Amino acid sequence: MSYETILFDVQNGVATVTLNRPTKLNAFNDQMIAEVTAVFKQSSRDKEIRCVVLTGNGRAFSSGQDLGAFTERGDTVSIGEHLRHGYHKLIKQMMTLEKPIIGAINGIAAGAAVGIALATDVRIAADSASFMLAFSKIGLIPDSGVNWLLPRLIGQARAYEMAITADQIPADKALAWGMVNRVVPAGQLGEIAAAWAGSLAAGPTLAFGLTKRAMNQAWETDLAGALAYEAHLQEIAGRSHDNQEGVAAFLEKRTAQFKGE
């Protein structure tokens, strides 16, 4: 399938999704929201895909909503409906994808793109990257999951400060605050993200997916609920090929050959 606003490439178990409207700093128009949502859906269905990398083409990760495209729709357009039918489906698709998603944050992420960056599971940022809650600059509140995701990662005081100042938070500060896992030289971002993705795609994908489900669910429950749910999921993982193979490989002192099943 061909796409107009993204590049999509699958190799050796790794799907790479590249936001590709560089002249607009990869701002999201309706088509880009739909195309990114579609490839995450496809990544969930395709057994060959065992890890996804999300990145941007050019100097930005994404500048968020394409404000020109949105304004062209006219006065009658409902922002709530736009969010519900667009970004919400995308964020939920990412958060429930039971495979690791690496965000390779190559440049600025602004507005809704911060929510999308935070909906990846681990983030590697180029040292030139930054995060900006641009919403208040145009009189809006954070959306696209930012109010849920960001305070959990960095605490409410920092998240709220980012929202009301719309300051650009550079990669090193984002690392210190826990928004990203690693910061790497910009020129090496693609290579380092691909290497990490390749190693994750050779891992126990079922266990990686169930871990994501367990941790997401744990936010919604008390300790007893979290313990019960992880025991339930561990039953499933414990019956997998990869559990048998992992234990056998350990006992036989060899490298495990995981299938992701």
36 near ligand LHQ, judged by CB under 6 A = no
Helix-strand-coil percent breakdown of the chain, rounded to 5? 50, 15, 30
* Residue 108 binds to ligand LHQ (criterion: CB under 6 A): yes
Measured CA to CA in angstroms, residue 241 lies from 50, 168, 259 at distances of 15, 46, 7
For residue 189, the minimal CB distance to ligand LHQ (Å) is 18
Q: Are 5 and 17 in contact (CB under 8 A)?
A: no
Pick from 19, 25, 174, 237: which binds ligand LHQ (CB under 6 A)?
Answer: 25
226 touching ligand LHQ, by CB under 6 A: no
Q: Does the footprint of ligand LHQ cover residue 68 (CB under 6 A)?
A: yes
Q: Which of 7, 138, 176, 248 binds ligand LHQ (CB under 6 A)?
A: 138
**Contact with ligand LHQ (CB under 6 A) among 5, 37, 63, 106:** 63
Residue 154 as a binder of ligand LHQ (CB under 6 A): the answer is no
C-beta of 18 vs 205, nearer to ligand LHQ: 18
Concatenated DSSP letters for 136-199? GGGT----TTHHHHHHHHH-HHHHHHHHHH--EEEHHHHHHHTS-SEEE-GGGHHHHHHHHHHH
Instruction: Tell me the longest C-alpha to C-alpha distance in the chain.
Output: 67
| Residue nearest ligand LHQ (C-beta atom) | 111
Contact residues toward ligand LHQ (CB under 6 A) are 24-25, 27, 63-68, 70, 79, 82-83, 108, 110-112, 134-135, 137-138, 140, 143
